[in-house]
């Protein structure tokens, strides 16, 4: 059993690669819920949905987010009647949010709902929300404290970030499946996701980081930074704002002794000496499916060698 | 000022005709809310929406219900993930329900939301929910007590009806705009809607029937029955189940002294003697826009003559 911790888009790419090179049933992906929010009365879980769509082959390659074969009638009409349109919800995507909201309201857990939807859509790995409790990433920015999505989508992550909190994380309990998966893991993979807004909200859930640190399974992280830049999203920008250099090395140091292996891009060779964990260099940019599978093989080989 | 009381499809046809032959701003339509229900966590108001779409020229002529230019991605996806699909919600239609639900949750009234949406979509008359309080039509059927939509849509109105209640109606208060419109009305038109499930839930709202009976304005009803048959829907079937003959005459008698004028179809000539109100015969089947306008003129002429 391989367990991956993942945020949205970048992490989902590696998760897809892992799911394709591992035997069926061998991959569990623990998903961030710090990006989750209520919008238009709906419970929206962007990272879970991105993972679900990607692992079910339903992701929208043109947009880089959301669902394949999407239509936009809902959003067009919502605009016509004066609704809030800053967070775009496609017609197909909307069905997940409406159904999840309905099932949460009748007392089902996010884990159970996610499991059922993944099964119905044919996701190629198990996806576990890190917790069924509410964890909400909030950011102290140059414009004051902001909730995650109004900052990330509403303001395109532009306001400079000086501090993050994961409201609810200390009181949140990891789901029993999450703890069981981590206990059984032969390797734990930290996907190339944004450390501040994707990985750390999961580590902040009561007991998760301690479980990782106590695990006998090797922890293998993949750098989300290539040559000082993030492939997508605000990771590099945030590193600068938080007083770090925007480098692959700084991400590994941020994980502070948690890692057994760090997989970084070949272009960052020579910047990673003396990190205190094994470093593996590989092409980490995942454009094609072949790229994803190749990086997954590198990660699995490094994990096997570290056991 | 002309005030019309209307349910959904049949009533909306006459309301459209009236809106086209009256000067702008001269028509107010009071809408039934007894069909309203919560579904998938959304506040759905079928009669208000049918009136809105029809009066805004956005109704779906092919389906006979719902919105023009509709798409069904939401519903298709909801089916794929195991959601409830017995009540079909198009992608565009859904935007109204989501936006209404969001605004109700933050404390706006159904009246205010309806006014705003009508303005934005360009509805050609004012639409007033008969009340901002909850009124819910329930039916005692051959299969037990049922809520309206599970009976009407879920079971295609098949279970025989022996009794109806309008839960909440006695405690519900008509909105101030409804009372003001009725007080100012030069004529009150009861549209050719189902009396049991469209008109009577409105009359049952505290004070509405008394206001109509006390009004000096003539009350003109249009028969929903033509030659013993309902144009659409379960009106004739329900009349039989409730122990009435399914005739134009029986509808007028059901209104029990409320009417000054009854407009019935020419095919029902000779069946309406001694009704206790003036009877006007006209073609009442509204297929084309010309039909709707012609019937509207008949209604307005009859009202003018009755004043």
pLDDT in tens, B3-41: 999 999 999 999 999 999 999 999 999 999 999 999 999
pLDDT at B231: 85
Q: What are phi and psi of B293, to 5 degrees?
A: -65, -40
pTM of the model: 0.92
Smallest CA–CA distance from B78 into chain A, residue: A95
Q: Does B99 touch chain A (CB under 8 A)?
A: yes
Chain A residue numbers touching B101 (CB-CB < 8 A) = 41
Find out whether B235 and B245 touch, Cβ atoms under 8 Å.
Answer: no
CB A120 within 8 A of CB B82: yes
A98, B83: Cβ pair inside 8 Å?
yes
Give the chain B residue whose CA is nearest to the CA of A69. B73
B113: closest chain A residue by CA:
A81
The helix (H) or strand (E) run that includes residue B272 is none
**Which residues, other chains included, contact B88 with Cβ-Cβ below 8 Å and sequence gap of 6+?**
B66, B72, B75
Summarize the confidence of residues A59-73 as an average pLDDT: 93
> What is the per-residue pLDDT for B282?
97
Instruction: Decide if B42 touches A, using CB distance below 8 A.
Output: yes
Chain B residues in contact with A71 by the CB 8 A cut-off are 71, 73, 91
For residue A22, pLDDT beyond 90:
yes
Q: How many CB atoms lie within 10 A of CB B155?
A: 14
Phi, psi torsion values for A129, nearest 5 degrees: -60, 140
* CB < 8 Å to B108, chain A: none
Distance from CA of A118 to the nearest CA of B (A): 9
Phi first, then psi: what are they for A37, rounded to 5°?
-160, 165
Q: What is the pLDDT of residues A91-136, one digit of tens each?
A: 999 999 999 999 999 999 999 999 999 999 999 999 999 999 999 9
A61 contact B CB<8A: no
Question: Could you tell me whether strands B219-222 and B261-265 are parallel, antiparallel, or unpaired per DSSP bridges?
Answer: parallel
Cβ <8 Å between B40 and A98: yes
Mean pLDDT on A30-47? 97
Query: What pLDDT does residue A159 have?
Result: 97
* Confidence bin at B232 (pLDDT 50/70/90): confident
Q: Give the pLDDT of residue A301.
A: 98
Contact A100, A117 (CB under 8 A): yes
What is the fold, at CATH topology level, of the domain defined by B2-139+167-306? Rossmann fold (3.40.50)
Average pLDDT over residues B68-74: 97
- Is A144's pLDDT higher than 90? yes
Instruction: Check whether A231 has a pLDDT greater than 90.
Output: no
Judge: B117–A81 Cβ closer than 8 Å, yes or no.
yes
- The verdict on B70 touching A (C-beta cutoff 8 Å) is yes
**C-beta atoms of B91 and A77 within 8 A:** yes
**Closest-CA distance of chain A to residue B77, Å:** 6
Retrieve residue A6's tokens. 């993942």
Specify the pLDDT at position B61. 87
> Is there a contact between B285 and B168 (Cβ–Cβ < 8 Å)?
no
Residues of B in contact with A115 (CB under 8 A): none
The pLDDT score that the predictor gives to residue B274 is 92
The confidence score (pLDDT) of residue B144 equals: 97
Q: Are A29 and A181 in contact (CB under 8 A)?
A: no
> Which residue is listed with tokens 């205010």?
B112
Residues of chain B positioned with their CB less than 8 A from the CB of A101:
41
Residue A90 distance to chain B (closest CA, Å): 8
What are residue A252's phi and psi, to 5 degrees?
-60, -40
How would DSSP label each residue in chain A?
Answer: -EEEEE-SHHHHHHHHHHHHHSPTT-EEEEE--TT-EEETTEEE-HHHHHHHHHHTT-B-TTTSSSBTT---HHHHHHHHTT---SS---HHHHHHHHHHHHHHHTT--HHHHHHHHHHHHT-SSEEEESBSS--EEEEEETTEEEEHHIIIIITTT-SPEEEEEEETTTT--B-HHHHHHHHH-SEEEE-SS-IIIIIHHHHTSTTHHHHHHH-SSPEEEE-SEETTEESSSSHHHHHHHTTS-SSHHHHHHHTTT--SEEEEEGGGTTS-TT-SSEEEEE-----SHHHHHHHHHHHHHHHHHH-
- Shortest distance, CA A172 to any CA of chain B (angstroms): 26
Let me know: does B158 contact B218? Beta carbons within 8 Å. Answer: no
Quote the percentage of chain A above a pLDDT of 70. 100
Query: A125 vs chain B: nearest CA distance in angstroms?
Result: 17
Tell me how many residue pairs between chain A and chain B have CB atoms under 8 A apart: 108
Asked whether residue A221 carries a pLDDT value surpassing 90, the answer given is yes
- What's the per-residue H, E or C state across A177-213? HHHHHHHHCCEEEECCCCHHHHHHHHHCCCCHHHHHH
- d(CA A289, CA A304) in angstroms, rounded, equals 22
- Alpha carbon separation from A183 to A31, A302, A304, B86 (Å, rounded): 17, 20, 17, 43
Rounded-to-integer distance, Cα A93 and Cα B173, Å? 39
Please tell me the predicted confidence (pLDDT) of residue A64.
85
B117/A contact by beta carbon, under 8 A: yes
Residues contacting residue B294 through CB under 8 Å, at least 6 positions apart: B17, B282, B283
Question: Does residue B307 have a pLDDT over 90?
Answer: no
Closest-CA residue of A relative to B76 is: A92
pLDDT-wise least confident of A15-19, B39-43, B228-232, B234-238: B228-232
d(CA A114, CA B82): 12
* B67 neighbourhood in chain A, CB within 8 Å: 77
Nearest to B73 among A71, A83, A116 (CB): A71
Torsion of CA B4, B5, B11, B16, to 10 degrees: 30
Under an 8 A CB cutoff, do A94 and B94 touch?
yes
Please tell me which of the candidates B71, B73, B120 has its beta carbon nearest to residue A82: B120
pLDDT digits (tens, 9 = 90+) for B276-300: 999 999 999 999 999 999 999 999 9
Domain boundaries, chain A: 2-140+167-306
Judged against a pLDDT cut of 90, whether residue A89 lies above it is answered with yes
Helices then strands (H, E): number in chain B?
A: 12, 14
**Which class is domain A2-140+167-306?**
alpha beta
Mean pLDDT for A39-48 is: 96
Looking at per-residue pLDDT, the higher value among B256 and B71 belongs to B71
Q: How high is the pLDDT of residue B22?
A: 98
Q: How far apart are the first and last CA of chain B?
A: 13
């Amino acid at each position: 059993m391989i367990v991956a911790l993942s945020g949205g888009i970048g992490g989902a790419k590696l998760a897809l690669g892992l799911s394709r090179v591992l035997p069926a049933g061998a991959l569990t992906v623990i998903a961030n819920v710090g990006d989750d929010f209520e919008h238009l009365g709906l419970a929206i879980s962007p990272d879970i949905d991105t993972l679900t769509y990607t692992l079910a082959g339903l992701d929208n390659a043109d947009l880089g987010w959301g669902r394949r074969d999407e239509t936009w009638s809902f959003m067009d009409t919502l605009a016509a009647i004066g609704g809030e349109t800053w967070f775009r919800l496609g017609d197909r995507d909307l069905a997940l949010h409406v159904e999840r909201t309905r099932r949460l309201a009748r007392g089902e857990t996010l884990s159970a709902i996610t499991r059922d939807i993944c099964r119905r859509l044919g996701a190629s790995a198990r996806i576990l929300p890190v917790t069924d409790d509410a964890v909400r990433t909030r950011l102290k920015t140059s414009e004051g404290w902001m909730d995650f999505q109004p900052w990330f989508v509403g303001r395109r992550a532009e306001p400079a970030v000086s501090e993050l909190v994961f409201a609810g994380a200390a009181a949140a309990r990891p789901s029993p499946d999450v703890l069981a998966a981590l206990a059984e893991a032969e390797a734990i993979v930290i996907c190339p996701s944004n450390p501040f807004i994707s990985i750390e909200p999961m580590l902040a859930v009561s007991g998760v980081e301690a479980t990782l640190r106590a695990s006998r399974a090797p922890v293998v992280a993949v750098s989300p930074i290539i040559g000082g830049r993030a492939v997508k999203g605000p990771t590099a920008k945030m590193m600068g704002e938080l007083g770090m250099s925007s480098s692959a090395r700084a991400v590994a140091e941020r994980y502070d002794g948690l890692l057994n292996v760090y997989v970084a891009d070949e272009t960052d060779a020579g910047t990673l000496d003396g990190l205190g964990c094994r470093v593996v260099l590989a092409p980490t940019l995942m454009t094609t499916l072949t790229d994803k599978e190749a990086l997954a093989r590198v990660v699995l080989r490094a994990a096997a060698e570290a056991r």
